[in-house]
C-alpha cells in the first residue's frame, strides 16, 4: 500500500467502522488509482449523493469478470446495477424502497 492509499484507507476506516478492513483497503486502492489517472466515478442516479464504484468477481470457471456490479458507495442508498449471464438488473436496498 502506498502513502496515498494508506491515507484514504485510514479515512475510510474512520468514516465506515462497520466495513471490513479488506473492503476499505480495496476501495482505498481504487480511489487512489482514480486520483492518479484523474478518473471521475459516475454519480449515482438514485440518490445523487454517492458515486458508483465498479466491482469485480470471478466466473463459474474461476475466470475474472472485470466489472460485474456497479454499486453506490453511499451507505444509505446501496443502489446496484448488476450483470448476470448478460442480463442487467437494477436493485435498491429495502430501506431505500420504503423511503427510509
How far apart are the C-alpha atoms of 31 and 41, rounded to whole Å?
Answer: 9
pLDDT, tens digit, for every residue of 43-91?
Answer: 998 999 889 988 876 666 766 666 678 899 888 888 998 887 778 888 8
pLDDT, tens digit, for every residue of 29-53?
Answer: 888 887 887 777 889 989 998 899 8
Q: Look at residues 6, 36, 34, 33 and name the one whose alpha carbon lies nearest to residue 21.
A: 6
Its pTM stands at 0.53
Amino acid at each position: 500500500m502506498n502513502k496515498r492509499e494508506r491515507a484514504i484507507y485510514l479515512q475510510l476506516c474512520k468514516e465506515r467502522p462497520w466495513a471490513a478492513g479488506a473492503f476499505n483497503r480495496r476501495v482505498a486502492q481504487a480511489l487512489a488509482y482514480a486520483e492518479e489517472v484523474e478518473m471521475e466515478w459516475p454519480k449515482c442516479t438514485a440518490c445523487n449523493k454517492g458515486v458508483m464504484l465498479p466491482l469485480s468477481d470471478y466466473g463459474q470457471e474461476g475466470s475474472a469478470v472485470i466489472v460485474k456490479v456497479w454499486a453506490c458507495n453511499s451507505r444509505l442508498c446501496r443502489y446496484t446495477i448488476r450483470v448476470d449471464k448478460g442480463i442487467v438488473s437494477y436493485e435498491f436496498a429495502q430501506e431505500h424502497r420504503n423511503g427510509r
